[in-house]
Amino acid sequence: MNATRSFEKGVPAASSSRPIPPFDDEHEELRDSIRRFIANELRPHAQQWEDERWFPNEVFEKLAAVGYLGLKYPEELGGQGGDYIHDAVFTEELAGCGSGGLAAGIGAHIGIATPPVWKFGTDDQKQRFLEPAIRGERIAALGITEPDAGPDVAGIKTLAKKVDGGYLVNGAKTFITNGVRADFVVTAVKTSDEGGHQGLSFLILEKEMEGYTVSKKLEKMGWHASDTGELAFQDVFVPDENLLGEENRGFYLIMANFQWERLLMSLGAVGAMGRVIEQTLTFARERKAFGRSISGFQAIRHKIAEMAIKHEAGRDVTYHALRLFCDGQDAVREVTIAKLATQRACFEVADEALQIHGGAGYMKEYEIERAARDARLGPIGGGTDEIMKEILGKQMGL
């Protein structure tokens, strides 16, 4: 297959021919199936779930039934036996659901919270947490951020004190995606008094544990369909068998996870930009002003051309980073560039689309205002743009 693809029939795609490596024909077939599933099963409900500030947990079961929660996981764990590239297809297409919050809730589960269990977990942990997560029965979250510690993980204060048979955990987490609904949280804790990055570990906390509470469901600018929680832990006993990876080696787990999280965010932004551009092309052709389609005005054409450049440039650096990552190479520099090139760009593309839609862009009905609100999280989440530039600076020897 090497056809030019489009999101809407009769509308030429803003992007060039597919497949583009690392994707091949098999991935493009998967893309078509995922796109159909999202159009039929998720997109029709996006507005309602945004309004309700919640999407139902059954979404996970529906995704599991078609295998989309386990694309990259081995068959013996209930997965599809694919790899990161299959997950990349899913993430890019998920933007088509039209709700950043829905995509974030699903993404937190399969993209950032379960991979550490797969990579660092014991067989018992895989059986208790990963397998039910792939089946959509247990929902996962990743708990790193705290009221006083964002990307500076050396500042994490949640303390896990060693006691007989396990740990006693006291502390708090904030801004946790799926934080309200999660059955288990892959949680960063301090297990030693040593400062800096030493003494960080990961424990899997389960919502039934005594002393574990969801202290708040946070209200947000965008991502309305997702639940973002604040968690409090008071003398929570966590058994030894819930220690994920080695004690005091949690910093390495965080760093390993960040690259994939940032790639997923880049892919999501690429998908979202493509979708917004397609919607804008359709609108600009149909909307008449001063006796002609607004797409006939040079000012509008130039805006759309600039949007297409941001989309394609972002897509190309993201696919490049994905190729290196999937090849097992050190892709920190490329992943950092991809995140930086796509997150602010996605917000700018959505904002320009809103301008081209005029008053309609400001109305809920056209979904452009939602796309802009949702995209604003990109330069903040998963490492802010400022932190990304610091990483890039270091990569350049500065």
Instruction: Report the interface residues with ligand FAD, using CB under 6 A.
Output: 108, 141-145, 150-151, 175-177, 220, 223, 228, 377, 380-384, 386-387, 390
- Name the nearest CA neighbour of 187 among 226, 240, 242: 242
> In angstroms, what is the minimal distance from the CB of 269 to ligand FAD?
15
> In angstroms, what is the minimal distance from the CB of 377 to ligand FAD?
5
> In angstroms, what is the minimal distance from the CB of 100 to ligand FAD?
9
Contact 180/217 with Cβ under 8 angstroms?
Answer: yes
> In angstroms, what is the minimal distance from the CB of 29 to ligand FAD?
32
By beta-carbon distance, which residue lies closest to ligand FAD? 150
Residue with Cβ nearer ligand FAD (119 or 389) = 389
Residue with Cβ nearer ligand FAD (35 or 373) = 373
> In angstroms, what is the minimal distance from the CB of 138 to ligand FAD?
16
How buried is residue 379: exposed, middle or buried, by Cβ count under 10 Å (0-12/13-18/19+)?
A: buried
Pairing type for strands 140-143 and 184-190 reads: parallel
Buried-exposed string 185-206: b where 16+ CB fall within 10 A, e elsewhere = bbbbbbbeeeeeeebbbbbbbb
Measured from the Cβ of residue 112, the count of other Cβ atoms closer than 10 Å reads 24
Residue with Cβ nearer ligand FAD (158 or 279) = 158
| Residues constituting the chain | 398
Residue with Cβ nearer ligand FAD (174 or 280) = 174
Residue with Cβ nearer ligand FAD (96 or 383) = 383
Residue with Cβ nearer ligand FAD (248 or 384) = 384
Name residue 141's beta-bridge partners: 185
> In angstroms, what is the minimal distance from the CB of 324 to ligand FAD?
24
> In angstroms, what is the minimal distance from the CB of 28 to ligand FAD?
31
Active-site residue identified among 261, 334, 352, 369: 261
Q: DSSP readout, 71-117?
A: TTS-GGGTS-S--HHHHHHHHHHHGGGS-HHHHHHHHIIIIIISHHH
For 186, phi and psi rounded to 5 degrees? -80, 105
Q: How many whole angstroms separate alpha carbon 313 and alpha carbon 266? A: 12
Residues whose CB is less than 8 angstroms from the CB of residue 232 and which lie 6 or more positions away in sequence, other chains included: 172, 212, 213, 215
- The set of long-range contacts for 13-22, using a CB threshold of 8 Å and a minimum separation of 24, is 13/274, 13/278, 14/274, 14/277, 14/278, 14/281, 14/307, 14/308, 14/311, 14/312, 15/274, 15/311, 15/312, 15/315, 16/312, 20/319, 21/319, 21/323, 22/85, 22/88, 22/319, 22/322, 22/323, 22/326
How buried is residue 341: exposed, middle or buried, by Cβ count under 10 Å (0-12/13-18/19+)?
A: buried
Can 365 be counted among the known catalytic residues?
Answer: no
Residue with Cβ nearer ligand FAD (240 or 386) = 386
Give the catalytic positions in this structure.
261
